[in-house]
Structures are given as structure tokens and as C-alpha cells.
Structure 1
């Protein structure tokens, strides 16, 4: 699994729950967005984004999210969700996800999310702080992120 998710600095382990199955005996399509959300929050915690939001009132809101289903997942299984930031602009960033099944040993799902920074006090978009940019760069590595900070 480590080799398959080597480009992802944050990996979240999620056990598949029986209740996530649908009538066709595989994980329901909507559940994958919850998996992405769990991975996204793990990433945010790693870069201390939620702690920064408590101090500044500026935090993330989800603008758009997509999912591509490659293989069905069934209970029991354990999933590894890799998350990373692949693109940064002044007021937003793009996260990419890859879900690998322990049982199948393969990628089952890939996804993407556009996250916009929002000032909840002013009720408007906001720029990413320099501290957040520096923290993201430190875990992503130089050259891995396409930056458009204009």
C-alpha cells in the first residue's frame, strides 16, 4: 500500500462498515465523499488549518468535489485514503485523493476537491496565510505543488 500512495503525504486508514453497503452489496457511492471528508480533515489537522481557523476566523469551505469509481468495495475491508494538495491559488487549493483497498491491493477510487478559504467574520473569500502556505509546502515537498498566488 505504501508504494501505491507514495505521492500522498497524509494517509488515512478507514475500516469499511457493514452499514455502508447498499442493496447491490458494495459500498454506496455517496459514502466515498465521507471517506474523502475524513481524509481532508486529517490533512487539515496535519497542517494545523483548523487551529489557525480558531485564531483568525478564516477557514476552508468546499467549493466542488468529484469522484471516479474504479472498483467496487465490499465489507469487510480496510481502505487507505491518500490525500495531498496538488494546486494552490491565492484564495483556494485543490486536493486530490486516492483510495486503495487492502483486500484488493488496488486503487478503487480517485477524487478531487476544490477548497476555498473563507473569512467567516467578514463573510467573504480570503487568502491563504503565509504560515499555511509554508506548512503545506513543508509536507508536500518543493516542486510538487503548482502555485498560482496572483
Structure 2
């Protein structure tokens, strides 16, 4: 499975009074990684692609351990866990380094493509679906037998 890798710098202002990254700041980190991931798909042949708009429908986050300020960036690995007709789910791990075992947070976000001009959700295009499928985990054979 392919994962999108985003290196996110820590800022001094991300710290709270206890000296670790504030829980709300993690959502900003995930936003930066998600935008970097989704905006890599550029419109072609007039495709609306994700740069045409999307909205977050849900966030879920598990804080695994405190993250304290340091000069090295954290790595956010992102991948797709579900693609529906008009929504997708992106999963994340916030880590020390790509492939590292030390995880600070695990999260997921449900994203809905949005038509900004019409002011309403829209379906995922074939181009978007093709791009997203590269980031889906492989289907295990046992899951197909079921």
C-alpha cells in the first residue's frame, strides 16, 4: 500500500502550558498533510478534482503519547481506507520518522467533495477515484471469500 508522506515542522506556538503539542494543534497538522495529499491531484481536461473544493464531515483522533517541541519535523503518513460515491476516509499516523514505530497520534477524517459554486456536495470523479485507489490497502483474499 502506498502512503502519502508529509513532513510537518513543529512551531514553538504549538506548545501548551505543559510543554507539549496542544491537542487541537494535531488537527492543524492533519489538515496540512491532507491538503498536501489531495492537492497533488491536479485538474486535467476540465476535471473538477479536489482543488475545486471539499469539506470535512468528521474527525476522529487517538492521542497515543505526548509530543514535545523539537527542531525535527514529525512525519504524517496518510492513506485512504474507504472510497464512497460522495465521500472518502483518510487515515493518518503522526510519527517520528517514515516507517518508525514511535507513534504520537492515529486519526481519520471523512472528506466530502464539494461544489463551491453550487454550494452542495458532489460525487467523486473517476479521476479522483483512480488517484485515491493507489492509497487503499490491498484487499486480503480472506475478505473476498466471506
TM normalised by structure 2 equals 0.80
> 2:36 is matched with which residue?
42
Extract unaligned runs of 5+ from structure 2. Answer: 140-146
Tell me how far 1:58 sits from its aligned partner: 4.4
Tell me how far 1:78 sits from its aligned partner: 2.2
> 1:112 is matched with which residue?
108
> 1:91 is matched with which residue?
86
Deviations 1:1-51 (A, max 9, x none): xxxxxx552110112112111001101111000000010011112233xx4
Is the 8 Å Cα contact of residues 58 and 126 (structure 1) preserved in structure 2? no
What is the rounded CA distance, in whole Å, between the counterparts of 1:64 and 1:132 in structure 2?
20
Deviations 1:82-104 (A, max 9, x none): 111110110000011100025x9
> 1:101 is matched with which residue?
96
TM normalised by structure 1 equals 0.78
What is the rounded CA distance, in whole Å, between the counterparts of 2:23 and 2:106 in structure 1?
12
Consecutive aligned runs of 4 or more in structure 1 exceeding 3 Å deviation = 54-58, 141-144
> 1:3 is matched with which residue?
none
Extract unaligned runs of 5+ from structure 1. Answer: 1-6, 145-150
Higher strand share: 1
